Amino acid sequence: MPDATPTPRSQEPATAWVVTRPILVGYDGSAPSRHALAYAAGMARRVTQPLVLVHVRPTPACYSIDYGFSPPAEDPAELLDWLRAELAATIDTSGLTVQLVQRCGDAARQLAELADDTQADAIVLGAPARWVHRIAGSVPVWLTRHARCPVVIVP
């Protein structure tokens, strides 16, 4: 598998980044995020940019909400193993430089911060599948208003 190594978290300095101008894809294990990963991989290939697969672990209180899929492991090593397995099951990584990133906190703000730190060309996300996100707001909606790069929302 191409360069799928863990990367710094938000509290670590941005100078540790090797990848610049990537295509970022937010991933939570849901079907829409798998579609977004596939789209982002194609986009990264077309523009010959690296792909950064990002999982933002919400605060533990958020796990009480039924999202329709199992939350990933809490342990960072297990989370990286889970991301690698999801990556391999979802896309063909040949010809791609892939970097895995895990963060904790508010997904929208963490993705926006990472996009700024890496000067991302785009952020790719799956469309919210739950009606509550369409009413109460969602990560894609917040990012379309606040991110400094294009935000692609994949159904």
Residue 128's pLDDT is 84
- Integer Cα distance of 98 and 138 in angstroms: 26
pTM to 2 decimal places = 0.78
Q: So where are the chain's domains?
A: 14-154
> What pLDDT shows up at residue 39?
98
Low-confidence ranges of the chain (pLDDT < 50): 1, 5-17, 62-67, 69
Q: What is the pLDDT of residue 9?
A: 44
Q: What is the DSSP string of 60-83?
A: GGGGGS--SSPPPPSSHHHHHHHH
Q: Which pLDDT belongs to residue 32?
A: 93
Q: Report the half-sphere exposure of 126 (CA within 13 A, side-chain side).
A: 19
Residue 41's nearest CA partner among 29, 55, 27, 28 is 27
| Domain 14-154: homologous superfamily in CATH | HUPs (3.40.50.620)
pLDDT at 7: 46
